[in-house]
Amino acid sequence: MNSLDLHTIQAIVKKRNPNANKSHHGHALLVAGSKAKMGAAIIAAKACLRSGAGLVTLNISRKERQAVFAAIPEAMIAFREEDHSLEKHTAFGIGPGLGTDKSAERKVASLLENIKLPIVLDADALTVLANNPKLFTKIPPNSIVTPHEKEFDRMFGQHANNPDRRQTAIQKATEFQLVIVLKSSQTFITNGSQNFLNTTGNAGLAKGGSGDALTGMITAFTAQGYEPLQAACLGVFLHGLAADITLETQSEESMLISDVIENIGKAFRKIEIKDEGLSKKG
């Protein structure tokens, strides 16, 4: 198993072209949010933009548009009630706050049927998959699923511990041609043949919204042209590193995911400095 550390990440990350424009950095579509869970959509969109996506569109209900206008004016909106062209997008994130009712199930099934690029699937989208196992065969190859331990067990059966889950993750990643991000205190990433154990992050991330931010980050890196496994590794490492930086001004108890998102920029700065200032864990 490989350690996901500073050296590994520095070998992956691309320097941003100073002559590029927004179209060179991808257009992410986030299918997220519902009446009681718009915070999840907003968190995902903010993290996506902070992670370098050129354009971000939120696919939400028309009734919830004011929440987005007020919280994140940099994001665009596509109304869920209307047809929306998928071809212009370079990456897709589905699930944060989406809901798990029949409408959400139909939306997830439709997207899996019509999107040909890899998709980042999280949160409520994973519950939809767990409730409809036949949908696994519809997931585009090299898509990224990001379950925490309970979500993983709902999808793939009960496990006694994380070492057992990691073995199943390797098997399922191979079977369904997926990248699996098994979230825990030491997040495990696999595509079935390459396996990584993350070395950043702290207990302050054990709060609502952390997974939504990670979905936005991984989607951003996919939009920018990183291979799915690379996008997953970058997202996980920087998500944890931003949380570690947040401890400079917050405690693990007081940390909010909005604090972590505001420190994504500092995390980028840190990986640009060769081996300086980063204490490795694990």
Residues of the binding site: 40, 97, 148, 183-187, 211-212
Write out the binding residues for (6S)-NADPHX. Answer: 40, 97, 148, 212
Burial state string for 163-200 with b = 16 or more CB within 10 A and e = fewer than 16: eebbebbbebbeeeebbbbbbbebbbbbbbeebbbbbb
Residues forming beta bridges with residue 19, ordered by sequence position: none
Decide: residue 228, CB within 10 A, 0-12 exposed, 13-18 middle, 19+ buried: buried
Residue positions forming the annotated binding site for AMP: 183-187, 211
User: What's the angle, vertex CA 193, arms to CA 190 and CA 196, rounded to 5?
Assistant: 40
